[in-house]
Every structure is written in C-alpha cells, then in structure tokens.
Amino acid sequence: MTDVVQSVIEQIDRLRERGQRLAASRSVEAVRLWQQDCAALVNQLSGGSKAHWLSRAFSQAFLVRATGGDVVVEAASAEIVERLLDVLSQARTSVAQITDAAAASAATPRAPRFEFVHNAELRPVLERALTDGRAALDAGDARLALILLSSVLEAIITDALEHSFTSLQPPAPSHLSFASHQSPVTSHSSLASPQPPRGSQSGLSTNASPKPNAPV
C-alpha cells in the first residue's frame, strides 16, 4: 500500500470516528464543520467531478423526497450524519479495492496491448496516451479524454495504412550483370575491315586508260 493511499484511508477513518461521536451530539456547529471536511475529502477523491459516483452519493445524503409529492427537501441533521457515514464507508472500500487491484496488477505481468502495431517505437507512446486518456475520463475531463483517445485511434489506423501501402509496393529489380542480358557477340579476331575496291591492291587506278598498241 502506497503512502498516499494509506494517508487517504487514515483520513477517512478519522472522519468516520468524528461522525460517530457527532451522532450522539446535538452541536450544530460541530456537525457543519464535519460536513465541510467530508465535502473536501469527497472533492479530492472524485477529482472535483460532480458526475463521479462519490460526489452524487454525497449530495444525495442531504436530500429526502417528501412522501406526498415530488418536492425535494433537506433531511434532518442526524439522518444526514448517518448517510455521510455510509458514504465514507463506501469511499474507504473503494480506495482499498483500488489498492488491491494495483497490487494484483503488479504481481501479474500485463500482456502488452499494442503488439499488433507494426512500429515498435509507437507502442509505448500509445500505452501512455491510453492510460492518460482513461485517467482524464475518470476525472471527468471529457475534452482531454476525447483528444487523447482519438489520437490513439488515429495513430493505430495510420500505422496500419502505412504497413499496407508498403506491402503493396512492387519488388525491387534484382541486381543482375548487364552483360548477362546482352546478345552474344562474335569475337573472331580474324574479321577484317571491309575490303578496299578491286584494283587498289595492285596499285593501279581503276580509271586509267589502256595503253595504245605499239607500232608494228
């Protein structure tokens, strides 16, 4: 049990002891001060949220519905004390259960929730955002919870789309030798250059006129 949780439980127990003594007392001022201390504790435990179950239970402890109609009036002081003692008991039970759940969670390793995310660096970021989003929701901060939880969904969808796009890319061409794709070339060294025109090998011009016959 952490020091913070232990301190809260001790504070609840002290308020319960005061309330039990006030049940037999008729001091209006003492009851009023005790109710203010209870309200401060409830506000602390509920995170200031009026929608929290503890805040609602505290508010309902002061009201009673008239038997003959729908008019809501304030309950008697002694009845309010008894109801607030019951609210404090519920608060103590809830705090103790949170402690037990945290201890059980620490003893049993929790399986990672984002193993399906392809980007390994993104997984701890998503884990933290999900935790903060749930904490904001429990505290009644709907705006912050919506931002954080929406960002988790957006990151998961983006990761899936990027992975799908990469898997659809065509494979890169294999690095083959350029020579393997060329047509075979004859490498005979005996291939000569094109033959010169006939007659040039004897040194005679092909355009020379025949000599005249010698005189007889």
**DSSP annotation string for 18-43:** HHHHHTT---HHHHHHHHHHHHHHHH
Q: Is 206 part of a structural domain of the chain?
A: no
**pLDDT (mean) for 160-171:** 77
Q: Is 180 part of a structural domain of the chain?
A: no
Res 203: pLDDT: 45
Phi first, then psi, for residue 4 (nearest 5°) are -65, -45
Helices and strands (H and E) in the chain: how many: 6, 2
**pLDDT (mean) for 145-169:** 87
At what angle are helices 53-60 and 28-45 packed, to 10 degrees? 160
Q: Does residue 177 carry a pLDDT above 90?
A: no
Question: Into how many domains does the chain fold?
Answer: 2
What is the pLDDT confidence band of residue 200, given thresholds at 50, 70 and 90?
A: very low
**pLDDT (mean) for 148-171:** 84
Higher pLDDT, 58 or 67: 58
Q: Does residue 37 carry a pLDDT above 90?
A: yes
Higher pLDDT, 109 or 30: 30
Q: Does residue 216 carry a pLDDT above 50?
A: no
Q: What is the pTM (predicted TM-score) of this model?
A: 0.44
CA dihedral for 190, 195, 198, 203, sign (positive or negative)? negative
Q: Is 202 part of a structural domain of the chain?
A: no
**Domain match, 59 and 148 both:** no
Q: Does residue 205 carry a pLDDT above 50?
A: no
8-state DSSP, 207: T
Q: Is 36 part of a structural domain of the chain?
A: yes
Higher pLDDT, 175 or 34: 34
Please report which helix (H) or strand (E) contains residue 92, including its range: helix 77-107
Rg (CA), the chain: 47
Q: Does residue 140 carry a pLDDT above 70?
A: yes
What is the pLDDT confidence band of residue 86, given thresholds at 50, 70 and 90?
A: very high
**Domain match, 58 and 146 both:** no
Res 213: pLDDT: 52
**Domain match, 66 and 98 both:** yes
**Domain match, 8 and 102 both:** yes
Higher pLDDT, 7 or 112: 7
The Cα–Cα gap between 4 and 142 comes to 26
Mean of per-residue pLDDT scores for the chain:
75
Q: Is 78 part of a structural domain of the chain?
A: yes
What is the pLDDT confidence band of residue 137, given thresholds at 50, 70 and 90?
A: confident
**Domain match, 125 and 102 both:** no
Res 171: pLDDT: 62
The CA distances from residue 173 to 37, 163, 166, in Å, are 75, 21, 16
Res 21: pLDDT: 86
Domain encompassing residue 100: 3-107
Please choose, from the candidates 93, 83, 73, 91, the residue with its C-alpha nearest in 3D space to the C-alpha of residue 35: 83
Burial class (CB in 10 A: 0-12, 13-18, 19+), 50: exposed
Of the residues 107, 128, 143, the one at which a domain ends? 107
